[in-house]
Structure 1
């Protein structure tokens, strides 16, 4: 093993390095503990805190960073999205994050079908740009919404549609690179004449080409003999690309070297035709092994992709309550193949799938089959396949699972036999796991319940990996089918290639990196597979006492902090809700993953050492909007809102809180007293001098307008209200603080609609509050007192099973989520959570009782983040449709207001930027449509930024009801109520 890769930070002149970097690099240079903690691990089992972090703004910054590292003899690691599963994206090195600024598509040439990109370009951004010309980049890993081309080049990524065009290596034309010793050049396929001319030039470039030629000449026959000829050979360096018959292609030889050889500055990549019409033929077999057996049979029909999955994955989806609505789209069976076909016309795509279906029906072993031509139905099925990691990482009642043998590949004709042999091996070692993956190319994915904490468990993991490696080799396969070797599999390469070729790979690395400073200890001469484990035998986190009981994590905050597996879905730039602050800042510390990493490091305590008092963690959590988008969209349901509340509780336990916490946290108290004299309070709050002073003292942004108190609270109005249904079925309407004190007409609208359905509406007589503003800022003891009081006040109604309707989604989320997280063993809390409805969900569930005439109008529907995270959105869409409203629901993400967040002075710009991403422009373009959103924060952000008065869906229903009574309905939105 090369000794050079054993970096000892104490032996380095880190201060000199920092000075050199900051004097020559225009991007960020961060060597603080928080930044090191953020980049200490990737999606793998490994953890190595880096020396420091550089975020270059340009190619010149990259070159300057390399020069400074070279001057101080410091290792270097290039990183994209950081989702690698084999440990190649963490190291004791200076990490260059190329994803933030070097992310431009430089050119697309549709005639010649290629694109030039910077390494930080997100795959889906390239694919969307190419689709304008009906082209695409063929490899598409499951992380396509956020992974980078540089990362794909580093790992030689593949994905579902690699059947269309192969691995990343097969789609790289040229690379602009820079070596650790500062040589910049462009590499690609090299003709004999070019090779001779370059060698004749001499100098460093000529010597590289000469040494590479000597290497391949010496080992050509062994390369031809030992390299598996399969679609998914990713393990080892691609020395076969240097063979004469492959054009001495240096660019493709460098793909998959995992930042161990060079730094990529630009890439010229191949684009392939992208048939615009797709169909999905889903085949059900008796088991996953039979599904694997029939892969060659399906391949003959020319599908764009063939994905496989087993019954274990479906069983774990049920246990995890994940995409349950998609499971019925699978035909009968215990093993499935998802076969996608494409065409340039809809008829062509359907015809190809129909021919395959007809042929399969005539066979003696015909599977159960469903054919989907509708895109939405196809997406429901793909949700199942893409849930593989989320459905298997943290399954209730089962041990956690880990990567480590998640990426092996065999010839497609051996898939069935390999799956059987692999299951035998799992059983031998007592491992339990699900099987899924890219069966059409022989690549098998799984996560295994390795014990990576005890000495015995780690020794068993090593024995299993060695035996699994021998099994793959015996079948002509590859240890890695797309994730790379890194540290997890690099040690096993001699078993696959033999010592001669591993020595050739070592020589290949040394040609590019003579001083062994590029991501040392990965792939070639790697750290052992059982070194640098994120857990390991020395992982012994303290049991931290928490206010939240964390029932899904066995009541242990350390398990809670370990929940993030690094898949990075929270790093999307668009689509969905999470993570709104990352979508604006694009900084790792403002992603759900980044915050989870910091909390894990806080619990571990060796890089971040101040525990609950850690300012780095506080800073990262400060811009969390507590939208709960992560709880609903993260594959493993990381709940950052709960993280934030728990941390803030401990952080402020022994220190003074800012005034804004008391102003916002006790909003129910101030509102109650203000409602005694609303006219006077409104004058005082909105007079220029007093309003400005109050905002300054509390920390409210001067641009924000304070809401006005209603002249009469809803509870006061309801106390005098006579119900028309004294013996009707009871429902309890929750008088939330926002609507009770500021917008009572919304609650009145709900009363009118519910009573028209024959219900007897009940409202608590006493002042009540769910405590929603208290959770984010960590005032958890008072929040718990409020919830206990609510359980006492509503004891009879809860016991009697009275439906509980919360018009404000944030309040509904509190009763569904926070309540049971704080009191998991309280039966009344569990009952209330089950009895809580949104207005739309209740009305739609009991639709036969309501007659709501058609409004025949268009609408923009924006759903509150908490609602999307914890409840179904289907009732809202269905209710509007029943009222004759054609609602569009674009992926608007978070509005950016998020309760008090958007009112705070230091968060105002971010709040507006979140809204301006999608929601606010959509509202401005919806002048002729109703704007509908249930959340107070959402309506307030819309009102203050656009001047539009958005409607609660209860108000829309009341408009329909009024139309039925009067025969007409105004399409004009109601004015704000003073």
Structure 2
């Protein structure tokens, strides 16, 4: 059969797509998504590339996937199997029907502990499998930095590796690539053959060929290809641990057992669709320690890889000083960076043993050996599990730390994972640096040095024609450099579109033709992820932010000072790393955790906004219904502001979009009933008894909730009598501290009109600490409820009122203390973003504190309160102020406290009260927070500073949470009741 280089198929007509959709909807039980918003979500990955897909299918099981592929085949459209879509090489975006296996097809099917194997569906999250087997002393070796959300199928497609690949070597499981740890795959070909593949003894191979049929044909042609190219394969393939570039044809050689499964690993969806995988497991040393070695520079770390590697670590990574400086500039892991010893480049050597003593002995033996050298490194042995985790988080944050660094040019992937022999890392790094200098490029250098894999993002100019031409020239020279070192263009991320055109330099034209033949054996019609790896699109084609991308210059409400004043640049912050797909352990994307929808990740929303600016497939700009839908379930929690490694701020982008979307339009009624709570509360405070009667007594309450778009399941909070400000003015003249230092307490809307007790407690605590507490001279509001719904003109008016009335105190340097985290966050974040040129706004932002921050800053020592406590942090508190000050105050109290790390409570201001959002609100709360509160000991305190958090807890568990101020007052009163 001739191997013809066919042009990738063109996009089908609208009529053809409509017929395909109708057929898919009739034949499969999963989800068929061909709307423009679905295309926008999957148009790019974590690479430089953008290709709008034909549509998306989310199969619910293997049979669904088989039927979906059959349907696509009958309509002649290409397909692209996809996991979590974090490819850096462009292999997970294409003009194809995307088969997304991450939502449903994600179960661990079987674990064979005796034979150290596990069978999983292709959409299984890596950490789900690892978490299961770690309980029995085993692990999976190919743990990429995206292990918390990467799918096994995607890792098979990419031939992924990770920080513990050297552990696999130590345990005799090959080099630690996915390829070395796969025993069997169940795959589906484009022409409908479903088969299990794995190692194939010669007698079985001959039997399969004799049996004929499509399976026999495939095996017969694979054998012929092997025999034809065997000598060339042995000669040309780099003999290094991290060869990921090219197809894994060596696995077909007799010495490797004609392992068809492993030959298909790393084919990037260009040959088959993986349905399930049988994965090898390795022993996991239960005790770990980390030895951090500091060298003068990163090149010296490379020089010392062989001697450190020879000591038998289970992990051997490296980071350089530029990466650490980037983290300091971005405020990433700043406290943890002090764990590093002196140096300009560091090796992170992890040792494992059956117990702590054994692991430490290995590390100390290396320390002794290194200490006897002529120029020993600085060394720090880290035994604390928490500190070891902190160091790994620094290393795993490498991608985020190298993208969008303040004061530096933008960095891009493209040459981000080259690999060379481990013993030559130092030499290679120096030559790579010389190449950077020749092109006037710069980059942080880090990665899996123990296996010779170097990570970096480089300040390529991909936005201009001249810059793109320069980048393309660099790629040729960088490829030549790697070939001279006997290395691989890719040591973990694959070729995709970014490096596939360079493969002839590495393998020669004859072996590249063998790749073409290999693909044709599996995919004779060329419909599997076309244009990637084999007969690839040009490296510089289909650039997401290339010379042809000219976003409109938009007038915006926010100033975006960190993004050169550009909304378009702010949106492009998202580089697709996918951390927003984590299902726990962070605040970011609570609605994704509840729905598991890509649309509700920070990444998905950023992609929708990018496509809005691009003008295709989303074409209606600020009035786009697709973007409105994507943003509707954003809780504006601001978790992404801190949890996203690129500091994407979706809450701000949502507020901006909503302001323009509703300009000239009538808003949904809940935006008026909840968004204008400041004005409603002020009015209700004049007759709180009457207001409470109508909002909390049936049938009036039910009628008001229906009219106001509020969930009927919710109980409306009671208006307080007296308000905080009324209480304060009645008692301040007689109970205040006349001679103390002035401090201004912010009576936010929620505290003032609904729950004054935290405010009263804050006053008493501050006065007990010796301060003279004041409040603003008139009712004021930061406008917090207005942001998520985009009432930004009103919010700006409120800020002007606040600045006008607080100006004397601002200029006198009087600190402002708040008790509601969301309002303090508004002072610290939105205020400056909306008023970037107002010096008083900047000053006020800098002198606004949470109660815990202020008390820590002032060195306040509270009385002891020896109680147990569960602590839930408001999302804005976590994102903008951080937890450190709060934890220090809790420690000073003597509380035995535990952070629930529950993410968003789900109430999120008005969000959880809105009828359309009630179900998602409850799902968010029930994920961690509400069950933990229900299980809590009745004598334990439940501490939650946020009004909405306390309201969600009270309404869903009947438990009353308390504010830190109330806990401090309790301690001062000697009252542990």
Compute the TM-score of the two structures, normalised by the length of structure 1.
0.98
1:359-378 aligned at under 5 Å gives the runs 359-378=369-388
Kept in 2, the 8 Å contact 1:12–1:72? The answer is: no
Kept in 2, the 8 Å contact 1:4–1:515? The answer is: no
Corresponding residue for residue 758 of structure 2: 746
Deviation at 1:12, TM superposition (A): 7.6
Kept in 2, the 8 Å contact 1:56–1:98? The answer is: yes
Corresponding residue for residue 453 of structure 2: 443
Corresponding residue for residue 541 of structure 1: 551
Secondary structure, aligned partner of 1:9: coil
Corresponding residue for residue 168 of structure 1: 178
Secondary structure, aligned partner of 2:204: helix
Secondary structure, aligned partner of 2:124: coil
Deviation at 1:11, TM superposition (A): 8.8
1:115-514 aligned at under 5 Å gives the runs 115-165=118-168, 166-514=176-524
Distance in 2, Cα, partners of 1:742 & 1:66? 57
Distance in 2, Cα, partners of 1:53 & 1:782? 40
Secondary structure, aligned partner of 1:298: helix
Query: 1:909-939 deviations in whole A, cap 9, x for unaligned?
Result: 1101100000001101112310001000000
Secondary structure, aligned partner of 1:336: strand
1:927-966 aligned at under 5 Å gives the runs 927-963=938-974
Deviation at 1:970, TM superposition (A): 3.5
Distance in 2, Cα, partners of 1:29 & 1:886? 50
Distance in 2, Cα, partners of 1:43 & 1:686? 50
Corresponding residue for residue 18 of structure 2: 15
Q: 2:911 aligns with which of 894, 901, 907?
A: 901
1:29 matched to 2:32: yes
Corresponding residue for residue 813 of structure 2: 801
Deviation at 1:253, TM superposition (A): 0.2
1:688 matched to 2:712: no
Kept in 2, the 8 Å contact 1:746–1:954? The answer is: yes
Deviation at 1:766, TM superposition (A): 0.3
1:528-927 aligned at under 5 Å gives the runs 528-721=538-731, 722=733, 723-848=735-860, 850=861, 852-926=862-936, 927=938
Deviation at 1:10, TM superposition (A): 3.0
Rate the CA distance shift 1:744–1:8 in 2: closer, same or farther, 3 A: closer
Kept in 2, the 8 Å contact 1:732–1:805? The answer is: yes
Distance in 2, Cα, partners of 1:735 & 1:491? 63
Q: 2:69 aligns with which of 66, 78, 91?
A: 66
Distance in 2, Cα, partners of 1:321 & 1:880? 24
1:58-137 aligned at under 5 Å gives the runs 58-137=61-140
Kept in 1, the 8 Å contact 2:57–2:99? The answer is: yes
Q: What is the total number of aligned residue pairs between the two structures?
A: 964
Query: 1:622-671 deviations in whole A, cap 9, x for unaligned?
Result: 10000001001001000000011000000000111122111112111110
Kept in 1, the 8 Å contact 2:681–2:753? The answer is: yes
Kept in 1, the 8 Å contact 2:305–2:422? The answer is: yes
Secondary structure, aligned partner of 1:688: coil
Distance in 1, Cα, partners of 2:939 & 2:203? 67
Query: 1:389-447 deviations in whole A, cap 9, x for unaligned?
Result: 12211011221111000010000011001111111111111112111111111000111
Kept in 2, the 8 Å contact 1:12–1:74? The answer is: no
Deviation at 1:382, TM superposition (A): 2.0
Distance in 1, Cα, partners of 2:600 & 2:209? 48
Kept in 2, the 8 Å contact 1:715–1:765? The answer is: no
Unpaired runs of 5+ residues, structure 1, are 964-968, 972-978
Kept in 1, the 8 Å contact 2:9–2:78? The answer is: no
1:970 matched to 2:976: yes
1:57 matched to 2:60: yes
Secondary structure, aligned partner of 1:853: coil
Q: 2:45 aligns with which of 42, 45, 49?
A: 42
Distance in 1, Cα, partners of 2:309 & 2:247? 28
Deviates more, 1:1-10 or 1:553-562: 1-10
Deviation at 1:765, TM superposition (A): 2.4
Distance in 2, Cα, partners of 1:745 & 1:317? 40
Distance in 1, Cα, partners of 2:302 & 2:771? 56
Compute the TM-score of the two structures, normalised by the length of structure 2.
0.98
Query: 1:531-578 deviations in whole A, cap 9, x for unaligned?
Result: 111122211111111000101111111111111000000001111111
Kept in 2, the 8 Å contact 1:705–1:944? The answer is: yes
Kept in 2, the 8 Å contact 1:123–1:149? The answer is: yes
Distance in 2, Cα, partners of 1:313 & 1:503? 40
Kept in 1, the 8 Å contact 2:589–2:640? The answer is: yes
Secondary structure, aligned partner of 2:335: helix
Secondary structure, aligned partner of 2:745: strand
Unpaired runs of 5+ residues, structure 2, are 169-175
Distance in 2, Cα, partners of 1:2 & 1:590? 40
Kept in 1, the 8 Å contact 2:867–2:976? The answer is: no
Distance in 1, Cα, partners of 2:14 & 2:200? 42
Secondary structure, aligned partner of 1:515: coil
Deviates more, 1:195-204 or 1:718-727: 718-727
Distance in 2, Cα, partners of 1:714 & 1:331? 51
Kept in 2, the 8 Å contact 1:29–1:54? The answer is: yes
Distance in 1, Cα, partners of 2:950 & 2:516? 61
